[in-house]
Amino acid sequence: MIRSMMTALAALALAAPLAAQEVVPDPGDWDAITAAAQGQTVYWHAWGGGNAINDYIAWAGAQVAERYGVTVEHVKLKDTADAVSRVIAEKSAGKDAGGAVDLIWINGENFAAMKEQGLLFGPWAEDLPNWHFVDVEGKAAVTSDFTVPTEGLEAPWGMAQIIFYHDTARLSEPPRSIPALLDWARANPGRFAYPQPPNFLGSTFLKQAVMELAPDPAVLSAPVNEESYAAATAPLWDYLDALTPHLWRGGAAYPQSGPRLIQLMNDGEIDLALSFNPNEPSNAIANFELPDTVRSYVLDGGTIGNASFVAIPYNANAKEGALVLANFLMSPEAQARKSDPAVWGNGTVLALDKLGEEDRARFEAIARGIATLSPEALGDSLPEPHPSWMVRLEQDWTARYGVGQ
Amino acid sequence: MRLAVSTTAPPPSRRRARFLPWAPLLTLAVMLGPVLAGLSGTLAPALGYMPALGGHGVTLAAFDALFAWPGLPRAVALSLGVGFAATAISLGLVVLICAGWAGTRTFGAIERLLSPLLSVPHAAAAFGLAFLIAPSGWIARALSPGLTGWARPPDLLILQDPAGVSLILGLVTKEVPFLLLMTLAALTQVRPGQSLRVAQALGYGRVTGWLKAIFPQLYRQIRLPVYAVLAFSMSVVDVAIILGPNTPPTLAVQVVRWMSDPDLSMRFQAAAGAVLQLGLVLLGLGLWRLMEVAVARLGRVWIASGARGRRRGEQALRMGALMLGGLAALAVIAGLAGQVVWSFAGLWQFPDLLPDALTLRNWQRHGPRLAGPVTETLLIAGAATGLALLLTLASLEAGHRHGLRPATRALWLLYLPLIVPQVAFLMGFQTLSIATGVDGGRAAVVLAHLVFVLPYVFLSLSEPWRAWDARQGVIARALGAGPDRVLWAVRLPMLLRPLLVAAAVGFAVSVGQYLPTLLVGAGRVATLTTEAVALAAGGDRRVIGVYALAQTAAAFAPFALAVVLPRALWRNRKGMRGG
């Protein structure tokens, strides 16, 4: 009697966790995925600050609704961290299924943190039907997000690269390297600004500088350690000590975001700025945010580039729908439209030589924006350092320049 | 016990009235429950407990990290300094405006200006001010290059100055109208006309007489709103990001930065910072209380001295207060005007006073998309305000009928949601809402807004409610009306205008809520404010302008109704129009 009760209890104990778990979708069985996705609503948490981007997301949602019966709701974020916070709050409250976030536009530190805390669903990205178009061989960034292996936990959907831009009406010959930037700033005090780290664009400026200035840039791709950090960053701090007094407002105040640089450029407060979207100046010109005399360029030694991704939280409510959307975002059609500067102008993650004739033609037909560089002029991007470098750089930057000492 | 007695023989009407005695308790629970639960949800991670991020023990490591942050002393000093300066300046200005001008025709004009000023959301007012006073702003454009010789803007640190002066100015422009509104409500109870006439008959100047005879009575009535202003100014985030310094920022801004840091271990430090922020606000309130005592002592000496006030000094004070008040109002209105122009602007560069071209494109692009968020905003604000009115009226009526007059001791509890910094409890508030399943929908957002709307509605309504002459009720009862009829047929109609003003204030508060909407709505409830904040991240002043105007319009409509409706309803009843 007692034994049978024990057995029953054990069976219950074993069965309960299984019953509580939902059926995990298998990305390999694509027909089952699309069937289950039908009728789902995908809440896609994505930065909502750009007209062009919001329009593109609305378009993608409409396409997926028409073709797969998946409704897409764009949850417009001011910061990716808001979506991460949401998932953490749900985990704290024990809500391990039916979460509010189905898909997040993510990369870098946010991805590394969610991966480390086990907050992501997957792996799934490399099982998607459109994965075989992705330029895995040519673009290391699509499988290595700030050097952290993506391991199929996120799917790439766009490429970004640092560019600098200037108003040719005021500045015809901009500095083309990090050391030249210092000389130029000395001669033109108060006319350059970068966003305040830990804003990601500001932090990327620091990384760009450390890459050019470090005696041995190779150490940057490995996790940071005390020895390598001190050696690699000593020239950076010397450089910033020299540059800061010649920054906009003498470094006593910093712009809080990348878009604020566009305002400052348009207001005539600065002559040189940077962006993580090679097409941003063209978009801004089309939107009356900048004069049409603005042009962009990259530094002679190349600039940092990375990929951005979409990821699915572990407790997402509409995982199948999110998979369908992520797959569509990697399709040649969606990628070509995204590359079109008249739409958004974001670089593709696909390898054009893997595409069919018709799809390749879509890309070749795209006309570039007035202030947008050709892929040849952009050149090969430099890889991001390991994320641990960014954390240390941000901390030390804040201690040195961010607290008014 | 009374419950037990009444259930034995319940007359139908008595049973119906049973809800009323519980109303004050329910009201307190609605406001305090979420705040207390939210606070505990912040305290736990501050002490290292947050299993979702691998924090299981109880440690002070988060506080160690917080105190090791090199910017802490300045951030703390900045928060205190900004809070005190903004509050003291706002209060001083309001008091001098009332002392110098109450009862005059000019004062009537000031009163009419209040509602539009109150309707402009804080962030929109801050954006507007930033565009006015920046070295490349509208004022500089008007003077350049003609008067200044600037072909390009000078590299001057006006916005985001390390001392927080522009932040203080931005806060003053919004706090003066709020305190003035609260003062107006309190003044009806103090009945200043008679005291002032007596003082003037004794030879006191207008301002001196007002300060000596009326201010001491008045301050007791507006003390809690003043505390709310102090707490708000010390912990404000959106205005501080736009106008405040950032090397380092105020503590509240830094806490929000840590909260959104990709390095998730910073969440513990953020929670510790939020606890410190709460402590800072409590310290600030304590210091302010000490200052009150000191000012009261000095004031008593001054009153006893019998100084009547010199005519010229009085005139200077009156004119100065009016000018500064006018300047504050002008800053908000001109800032809004700047946003109107931006929303129609083509390319607009320094030093052009106006854009190169005007275009409807921004409105064509964003106008149609406003419909959804506008509907959502109106539904939520309407529901939250309706519930808040219901609870407030029930509590007040319960106090009236059952003698449950909330002691002043309990009243400060109503202010808890206004005094506890949002950063200190919203994290826990979100977890609570998810855990209880009240989350992710419109109803949940309405409840979350209620926490913030209710104190303001209560604040706005309670004074006029108590100031109502109870003899009217006695007459009505003598004429055979029961308590319900007295309420519906006499008291509420007579108080229609304050009711509508309270509703308008509550509505405006709801319209402006960002974090509670985002956190409890799971990002699925898109209001004007959540859309505005997300779009503002893109930095396009044209979009910011469109949304700022839409927000202002949504908040302004009920204020306009509060003016128009009583006039329309009582067009044949001259005696009711003043109410």
A-chain CB neighbours of B535 within 8 Å are 48-49, 76
Does B136 sit within 8 Å of A78, measured CB to CB? no
From residue B294, alpha-carbon distances to B284, B288, B289, B335 in Å are 15, 10, 9, 38
Q: Give the C-alpha separation, A293 to A275, whole Å.
A: 17
Burial A344-362 (b: 16+ CB within 10 A, else e): bbbbbbbbbebbeeebbeb
Q: Which of B50, B262, B540 sits opposite A81 (nearest CB)?
A: B262
Q: Residue A45 — φ and ψ, nearest 5°? A: -85, 110
In this structure, the number of other CB atoms found within 10 A of the CB of residue A2 comes to 6
Q: Encode pLDDT of B315-343 as tens digits.
A: 999 999 999 999 999 999 999 999 999 99
Percentage of chain B lying above the pLDDT 90 cut: 57
Sign of CA dihedral B468, B474, B477, B479: negative
Average pLDDT over residues B37-58: 88
Whether the predicted pLDDT of A383 surpasses 60: yes
The string of DSSP codes covering A265-280 is HHTTS-SEEEES-TTH
Q: What is the pLDDT of residue A16?
A: 41
CA distances from A321 to A33, A59, A156, A181, B58 (A): 8, 16, 17, 47, 40
Strand pairing of A148-149 and A144-145? Answer: antiparallel
Instruction: Sort out which chain A residues have CB atoms less than 8 A from B152's CB and list them.
Output: 170, 268-269
Rg (CA), chain A: 23
How many residues in chain B?
579
Residue of A194, A292, A403 to mutate when probing chain B, most B C-beta within 10 A: A403
Residue B485: CB atoms within 10 Å: 14
Q: Are A50 and B538 inside 8 Å of each other by CB?
A: yes
Q: If phi over 0 gives left and psi between -120 and 50 gives alpha, with beta otherwise, what is residue B474? A: alpha
In this structure, are strands A71-77 and A41-47 parallel, antiparallel, or unpaired?
parallel
Rounded CA gap, B527 and B22, in Å?
A: 33
- Ramachandran sector of residue A208 (left: φ over 0; alpha: ψ -120 to 50; beta: rest): alpha
Q: How far apart are CA B337 and CA B345, in angstroms?
A: 12
Q: pLDDT-derived band of residue B99, with 50, 70 and 90 as boundaries?
A: very high
What is the pLDDT confidence band of residue B441, given thresholds at 50, 70 and 90?
A: confident
Cβ contact (<8 Å) for A79 and B260?
yes
pLDDT at B287: 97
The percentage of chain B sitting over the pLDDT mark of 70, rounded to a whole number, equals 95
What is the per-residue pLDDT for B194? 85
How far A81 CA sits from the closest chain B CA (Å)? 5
Distance CA A163, CA A107 (A): 19
When pLDDT is cut at 50, 70 and 90, the band that residue B405 belongs to is low
Measured between alpha carbons, how far is A328 from A42 in angstroms, rounded to an integer?
Answer: 13
pLDDT band at A37 (very low <50, low <70, confident <90, very high): very high
CA angle A64, A65, A68 (to 5 degrees): 70
Average per-residue pLDDT for chain A: 91
Write down the H helix ranges in A138-225.
178-187, 200-213
Domain A2-158+308-372 has CATH 3.30.930.10: no
- To the nearest whole Å, the CA of B518 is away from the closest chain A CA by 9
Question: Which whole number is the average pLDDT over A383-390?
Answer: 89
Note whether A253 contacts B348, CB cutoff 8 Å.
no
Pairwise CB contact (< 8 Å): A86 & B538: no
Is A152 strand, coil or helix?
Answer: coil
pLDDT reading at B5 higher than 70: no
What strands lie across the sheet with A294-297, from one edge to the other?
A272-275, A163-167, A294-297
Q: Which backbone phi and psi does B96 adopt, to 5 degrees?
A: -70, -35
State mean pLDDT over B497-510: 92
Q: What number does CATH give the domain A163-305+384-401?
A: 3.40.190.10
Please give the angle made by the CA atoms of A391, A241 and B158, to the nearest 5 degrees: 90
Backbone region of residue A288 per phi and psi (left: phi > 0; alpha: psi in -120 to 50; beta: other values): left
Contact call for residues A298 and A21 (beta carbons, < 8 A) = no
Confidence of residue B4 (pLDDT cuts 50, 70, 90): very low
Asked whether the predicted pLDDT for residue B253 surpasses 50, the reply is yes
pLDDT at B154 over 60: yes
Residue A232 has pLDDT above 80, yes or no: yes
Judge whether B252 and B79 are in contact, CB under 8 Å. yes
- Is pLDDT larger for residue B420 or for residue A243? A243
Q: Do B523 and A287 touch (CB under 8 A)?
A: no
ipTM of the complex: 0.87
SS3 content of chain A, % helix, strand, coil (to 5): 50, 15, 35
Q: For residue range A248-306, list pLDDT tens digits in order.
A: 999 999 999 899 999 999 999 999 999 999 999 999 999 899 999 999 999 999 999 99
3-state secondary structure of B234: helix
Residues of B in contact with A45 (CB under 8 A): 523
Could A79 and B522 be called an inter-chain contact, meaning their C-beta atoms sit closer than 8 Å? no
- Sequence-ordered list of residues with C-beta below 8 angstroms from that of B559, at least 6 positions apart, any chain: B115, B116, B118, B119, B501, B504, B508
Average model confidence (pLDDT) for chain B?
A: 89
Q: Which residues from chain A sit within 8 angstroms of residue B160, using beta carbons?
A: 249, 253
Question: What is the mean pLDDT of the segment spanning B150-171?
Answer: 93
CA-based radius of gyration for chain B: 25
Instruction: Give the mean model confidence (pLDDT) for residues B400-420.
Output: 73
Nearest-angstrom CA–CA distance, A229 and A238: 14
Same topology between domain A2-158+308-372 and domain A163-305+384-401: yes
Please name the residue that has the structure tokens 């978009």.
A283
In a mutational test of the B interface, the residue from A43, A267, A277 whose CB has the highest number of chain B CBs within 10 Å is A267
B245-249, B284-288, B433-437: the lowest-pLDDT one: B433-437
- How far away is chain B from the Cα of A394, in angstroms, using its nearest Cα? 11
Dist CA B330 CA B324 (whole Å): 10
The ranges assigned to domains in chain A are 2-158+308-372, 163-305+384-401
**Which chain B residues contact residue A85 at CB under 8 A?**
259-260, 430
Identity of residue B524 = R
Among chain A residues, the shortest Cα distance to B430 is held by A89
A124 and A312 Cβ atoms separated by less than 8 Å: yes
Q: Report CA torsion sign: B301, B304, B308, B314.
A: positive
In chain B, what is the straight-line distance between the N-terminal and C-terminal CA atoms, in Å? 40
